[in-house]
Amino acid sequence: MLTSALLLSSVIAAPTIAPEAQPTLDKVMSFYKGLSGASMTLTLKELMPGMGDQVSTMAAFKPNMYKLTQDMGMPGMGSIELISNGTNTWSTETESKMYSEGTASTSFADSPELNMLVGGTPGEFFFSLLSDDPEATFLSGINRVTWDGSTEIDGTSYDLLTLHAEATEEMPEQLKIQISVDQGDHPWVHRAHMPLPKEMTGGLDVTLQFEASNWKALETAKSEFTFSPPTDYKKVDDLFAALMEGGGPAGAPTEEKAMSLIGKPAPGFELKNTEGTTVSLASLKGKTVIIDFFATWCGPCRKGMPVLMDIAKQRADDGVVLYAIDLDEPAEKIKSFLEKQGWSLNVLMTGDSKVADEYMVGGIPHTVIVAPDGSLQFIEIGFHGKEQTELQINKAIDEAIASSKSST
């Protein structure tokens, strides 16, 4: 998946504010500065076909109490919750049933847990608006604010402002974030729209959009700003470090665990393709099978799949076949995507199966090669360029065919 959204970390001079934008900006900053706390639901809209919306709930009470719940939307991971009662903090993850404790920072900006989860993402704007100096924090990295008029959405009138982020050597294309602000007595920031520079997306056209809904002002701290660990939860020193090290349940995918499958019989499966026909791995025995776990929204998958398709076509006389296994997307979205791409590709769907867990799939693309004798010969996680992929996949195919011949 892509998480970077408001990359506003560079320190620059105070931004230039267009005269038409100043009244709305002043109203917003004065309003948020006067709040004791707030809660809302943040929806990151579908980045690419099939990816689906990502929803987080956030509540905060100044200066350092909060509760954030975020569905990670990744195989092997559930929801992460960050909680602070102003004295202590807790970080929890539902799939691994792990949690860690810490000491609360004096402000949202100084919280290492918040910075780890929402730094550089749309969630960061929520906490920046509730800081002691919302204008300085919210406009960090912005060198210009312009006025784009007003609009009406679902019967509500909004002012439109565009925040222009300074171009840098690393990001020569200037970022532009258009935000919509309620014109009423409560000038909540409701929407943001930002085309991502292609330097960030590997050349793909991606526009980030998010909606902030269900805004509520908090007059007192919420009782939910605390955590009592369930009896089946395991305490760790650092939740994020434990997750990256694979410290979750035995089935949680890690690269080390995935690689341990090499040389063993490939996990069997029976999955439906986009036309509803069931395909089993057993039915493909005797062929060298390239399996690529992917999703239509995954940028590296979209770049790497044509390379795999070309290899499978060139090696068809060697008994090589390619099957993509799509993670959790409906057939119609997959077929629409394939049509737009002009791809002729065998795609299987995970459905209710545990095939992704059995192959220890974490990040995607996750490519495996099953030898003709049914053993798992090769695993590659990620896309590392056309030349390297061609070299490694063809070498693995040769080794898979040779190993099967030697075992007969």
Q: Residue 36: CB partners within 8 Å, gap ≥ 6?
A: 61, 62, 217, 218, 219, 220
Strand order in the sheet with 376-381: 278-280, 270-273, 347-349, 320-326, 288-294, 366-370, 376-381
Closest CA to 369 of 354, 389, 350: 389
Half-sphere exposure of 209 (CA within 13 A, CB side): 9
Type of residue found at 268: G
> Which of 301, 308, 355, 381 is flagged as catalytic?
301
Write out the H or E segment, with its range, that includes residue 123.
helix 123-129
User: Residue 52: left (phi > 0), alpha (psi -120 to 50), or beta?
Assistant: left
Residue with tokens 């931004």, as numbered in its chain: 15
81 is catalytic: no
Count CB neighbours of 101 within 10 A: 14
390 is catalytic: no
> Residue 191: helix, strand or coil by DSSP?
strand
User: Residue 172: left (phi > 0), alpha (psi -120 to 50), or beta?
Assistant: alpha
> Which of 298, 305, 311, 334 is flagged as catalytic?
298
Cα distance from N-terminal residue to C-terminal residue, the chain = 42
Type of residue found at 355: V
* Active site members: 298, 301
